[in-house]
Amino acid sequence: MIKVITYGTYDLLHHGHIRLLERAKALGDYLIVGVTADDFDKTRGKINVQQSLIERIEAVKATGLADEIIIEEYEGQKIDDIKKYDIDIFTVGSDWVGKFDYLNEYCEVVYLERTKGISSSELREEKRSIHLGLVGNSSFLNKVKDEAEYVNGIQISALCTDNLNIMSDEIKKVDFITNDYFKLINNVDAVYIRSLPNMHYDQIKYALNNGKHVLCESPLTLDEKQTMELFELAKSKNLILMEAIKTAYATAYRRLLLLVKSGKIGDIVSVDATCTSLKNNDNDWPGIYEWGPTALLPVLQMLGSNCKDYRIVSHIDKNTQLDNFTKIDFLYEHSVASIKVGDGVKSEGQLIISGTKAYVYVPAPWWKTDYFEIRYENQNNNQRYFYRLEGEGIRHELVSFVKSIENNIYLGNIDIIVTRDITKILNFFEKGIYQKI
Ligand code: CTP
Q: Whose CA is nearest to atom 9 of ligand 1?
A: 93
The CB-based long-range contact list for 255-261 (8 Å cut-off, 24+ gap) reads 255/385, 255/387, 256/353, 256/360, 256/362, 256/372, 256/385, 257/298, 257/301, 257/302, 259/360, 259/374, 259/385, 260/302, 260/353, 260/355, 260/360, 261/302
Does the pLDDT value for residue 44 go beyond 70? no
The pLDDT value recorded for residue 309 is 94
Q: What is the pLDDT of residue 128?
A: 65
Q: By alpha-carbon position, which residue is closest to atom 16 of ligand 1?
A: 8
Pair (151, 210) in one structural domain: yes
Residue 8 CA, ligand 1 centroid: distance in Å? 7
Q: Are 220 and 230 in contact (CB under 8 A)?
A: yes
Distance 250 CA to ligand 1 centre (A): 28
pLDDT of residue 387: 87
Alpha carbon nearest to ligand 1 atom 24, residue: 119
Measured in angstroms, how far is the CA atom of residue 93 from the centroid of ligand 1? Answer: 7
CB 402 within 8 A of CB 153: yes
Question: Among the atoms of ligand 1, which is closest to the Cα of residue 117?
Answer: 8
Q: Which helix (H) or strand (E) holds 297?
A: helix 288-303
- Largest Cα separation within the chain, whole Å, is 81
DSSP for residue 76: T
- Quote the domain boundaries for residue 265: 248-436
Check: CB of residue 242 under 8 Å from CB of residue 215. Answer: yes
- Any residues with CB less than 8 A from the CB of 90 and at least 6 apart, and which? 4, 5, 6, 78, 82, 100, 103, 106, 107, 108, 109, 110
pLDDT at res. 189: 96
**Of 97-101, 204-208, 234-238, 281-285, where does mean pLDDT reach its minimum?**
281-285
Q: Are residues 326 and 269 in the same domain?
A: yes
Q: Whose CA is nearest to atom 25 of ligand 1?
A: 120
Which protein residues are within 6 Å of ligand 1, measured from CB?
A: 8-10, 16-17, 20, 46, 92-93, 95, 114-115, 118-121
Residue with the bigger pLDDT between 58 and 320: it is: 58
Query: What pLDDT digit, counting tens, does each position of 116-171 carry?
Result: 999 888 887 776 689 999 999 999 999 999 999 888 889 999 999 999 999 999 99
Q: What's the pLDDT tens digit per position in 88-120?
A: 999 999 999 999 999 999 999 999 999 999 988
Residues 101 and 154 placed together within one structural domain of the fold: no
Mean pLDDT of the chain: 93
User: Is cis: bond before 298, omega within 30 of 0?
Assistant: no
Residue where a domain terminates, one of 99, 121, 143: 121
Q: Tell me what pLDDT residue 39 has.
A: 67
Confidence of residue 425 (pLDDT cuts 50, 70, 90): very high
**Do 260 and 225 fall into the same domain?**
no
Indicate yes or no: pTM above 0.75.
Answer: yes
Ligand 1 pocket test, candidate residues 22, 119, 126, 399, most atoms within 8 A of CB? 119
CB distance 276 to 397 below 8 Å: no
Whether residues 115 and 176 fall in one domain: no
Determine the 3-state secondary structure of 43 from DSSP.
coil
Please choose from 9, 22, 31 the residue to mutate so as to test ligand 1's pocket, defined by most ligand atoms within 8 A of CB. Answer: 9
Least confident piece of the model among 28-42, 182-196, 358-372: 28-42
* CA atoms of 238 and 249, how far apart (whole Å): 24
Query: Do 297 and 203 reside in the same domain of the chain?
Result: no
Residue 356 pLDDT > 90: yes
Same domain, 233 and 293: no
Q: What CATH number did the domain enclosing 298 receive?
A: 3.30.360.10
Query: Of all atoms in ligand 1, which is nearest to the CA of residue 96?
Result: 11
> Is the model's pLDDT at 46 over the cut of 70?
no
Model pLDDT for residues 4-13, shown as the tens digit of each residue: 999 999 999 9
Work out the average pLDDT over 231-244: 98
pLDDT at 283: 62
Which residues is 60 bridged to in the sheet? none
Question: Which of ligand 1's atoms lies nearest the C-alpha of 118?
Answer: 8
Same domain as 204, residue 113: no
**Co-location of 11 and 62 in the same domain:** yes
Task: Give me the CATH number covering residue 237.
Answer: 3.40.50.720
Question: What's the CA dihedral at 35, 110, 88, 76 to 10 degrees?
Answer: -50
* Domain endpoint, select from 97, 121, 145: 121
Partners of 361 in beta bridges: 352, 373
CA of 155 to the centre of ligand 1 (A): 22
Atom of ligand 1 nearest to the CA of 49: 28
CA torsion, ordered 399, 402, 408, 412, to nearest 10 deg: 40
Please check whether residues 165 and 93 belong to one and the same domain.
no
User: What is the tally of structural domains in the chain?
Assistant: 3
Indicate the residue type of 379: Q
The tens digit of pLDDT for each residue in 160-179 reads: 999 999 999 999 999 999 99
Clarify whether residues 238 and 267 are in a common domain.
Answer: no
* pLDDT over 60 at 45, yes or no: no
CATH number for position 62: 3.40.50.620
Are 135 and 211 members of one domain? yes
* Three-state SS sequence of 127-159: HCCEEEEEEECCCHHHHHHHHHCCECCEEEEEE
| Atom of ligand 1 lying closest to residue 95 CA | 11
Instruction: Quote the strand ranges of 76-195, DSSP E.
Output: 89-93, 108-112, 130-136, 154-160, 176-178, 190-194
> Which ligand 1 atom lies nearest to the CA of residue 152?
28
Measured in degrees and rounded to the nearest 5, phi and psi for residue 313 equal -130, 130
CA of 403 from ligand 1 middle (Å) equals: 22
- Give the pLDDT of residue 344: 87
DSSP state of 194: E
Query: Where a domain ends, among 245, 269, 297?
Result: 245
